[in-house]
Chain A
């Protein structure tokens, strides 16, 4: 499997993993059957994502995209984070092998799910 340098770097040096206690939004996507599960935790203050972490069970691409996605949404407004597409994550990683594109989709879904959770919690 040939990954870009950026993918490998992100995979090896990933930092934003782990849980956020009392997270404002949690998104759980993927399933173990296919080998990729991603949990996203967000801390949100005044509509701004002040912290973002992930826990991922999955391949190199899944971990690298999780990691890159956290970097891309941290410090951003919630509306901006919703705009982070799988395409943008993939581009930031200098591309993914075709059979790994679903991993980047998972990252986008994870962010959306976590924000949805945050909005739901806030409205109740």
Chain B
């Protein structure tokens, strides 16, 4: 098989081999349903509790405030619908650059008769706390604003936004799926009420989401069944994935600081090299605070899927915000919210680094990206006929 140069850590991370090793027994000799009577089952339950403690510690939460569910999307849905559905009507606020899991949940509530305000972001991808203050209403029940953006990496002033929500009697939820594992995420200092996480963005397995729910707060469940997860999210636990996520959390606690430093240096270096080698590019989400591993650029006058396809012939795996890499005709809503034109949004490329990124991955990208851009620009009417 051809070597893969993987630079798409924001899409998903490989499961750390140490995590895999911890998970394997739970598919075979330790397969037991943790709710069963015999001692083997009880021991599996103890492993789940230990994982919960490890994950809670990472987020600055208490273990009894953390709930397991199917994935990050479900966790977002639980926080949003679980809050709003306690009343027949009400107002909620979110931002224009949320992940689809949040944005489409909010839009569904709007269709169902709830009031929705979508806050804009500035040209660098930040929500202005003053905009939130102005949008707050007497009947605002929930504010949901992401910790860090998955496409451009901008980090929101979560603590300040949560404080504004609370001052007006609303609850605050943050989708921290993309932040956790890359930067410190602490529910205490940020004072959020709900937080969504996903194991597969932090070197754990797919198919495991987490929801932090502050003690004393109530959420209406979305699925009903037995008493698992205190009735908030019933269903037999995904034991292997939970144990794996616990190990993944332990590894993040141990390695994040050193990983972040390395990745940030390489990302900054990469940005400089790209700016030197490729004329007429835009950096999307160019200001701090931003995720240390994420670099999003628009290579003007060419289209993202074509870039991805040419890079893929060299074994490079990346993402684009172009419509063609998804199934809709519209390019990334995040880039449009920054004020990028459709053309520039179609020409975006997201490079995201992580734990197992090697220098040669970046060197390999730099071997092929400038020639790829040049080749596609030769074909593009916008480049050939641009105003110089």
Contacts and interface: CB of A to CB of B under 8 A. Distances in A.
Interface in A1-54: 1, 3, 8, 11-12, 14, 17-19, 28, 32-39, 54
B385 to A, nearest CB: 8
B346 A60 contact: no
Interface string B101-132: 00000000000000000000000000000000
A86 interface: no
Interface in B300-315: 301-303, 305-306, 309-310, 313
B331 A56 contact: no
A3 B301 CA distance: 23
A32 B342 contact: yes
Contact of B343 (A32, A38, A100): A32
Contacts of A39: 381
B384 A19 contact: yes
Given A35-B324, A35-B329, A17 B305 contact: no
A1 B305 CA distance: 9
Interface in B137-193: none
Nearest to A3: B309
A55 interface: yes
A17 B50 CA distance: 61
Given A35-B331, A57-B302, A58-B306, A14 B379 contact: yes
A32 B380 contact: no
A33 B342 contact: yes
A63 interface: yes
A8 B385 CA distance: 26
A61 B324 CA distance: 9
B382 interface: yes
A54 B378 CA distance: 11
Contact of A63 (B342, B379, B382): B379
B322 interface: yes
A119 interface: no
B40 to A, nearest CB: 45
Contacts of B346: 32, 35
A3 to B, nearest CB: 8
A92 interface: no
A32 B341 CA distance: 9
Interface residues of B, number: 26
A35 B331 CA distance: 8
Nearest to A37: B381
A91 interface: no
B88 interface: no
Contact of B323 (A12, A35, A61, A63): A35
Nearest to B310: A12
Contacts of A60: 305-306, 309, 324
B329 A34 contact: yes
B323 A55 contact: no
Nearest to A38: B381
Contact of B382 (A36, A54, A57, A99): A57
B324 to A, nearest CB: 4
A14 B380 CA distance: 13
Contacts of A28: 381
Contact of B379 (A8, A34, A55, A100): A55
Contacts of A100: 324
Interface in B326-346: 327, 329, 331, 341-343, 346
A99 B327 contact: yes
A26 to B, nearest CB: 10
B313 A58 contact: no
6 contacts: A1-B324, A11-B306, A12-B310, A35-B323, A35-B329, A57-B343
Interface of A: 1, 3, 8, 11-12, 14, 17-19, 28, 32-39, 54-63, 99-100
Interface of B: 301-303, 305-306, 309-310, 313, 322-325, 327, 329, 331, 341-343, 346, 378-382, 384-385
Task: Enumerate the 9 nearest inter-chain pairs by beta-carbon distance, A residue then B residue, closest first.
Answer: A59-B324, A55-B381, A59-B305, A32-B343, A35-B346, A39-B381, A17-B379, A33-B342, A57-B380
Given A12-B310, A32-B342, A38-B381, 6 more contacts: A17-B378, A18-B378, A19-B384, A28-B381, A56-B380, A57-B343
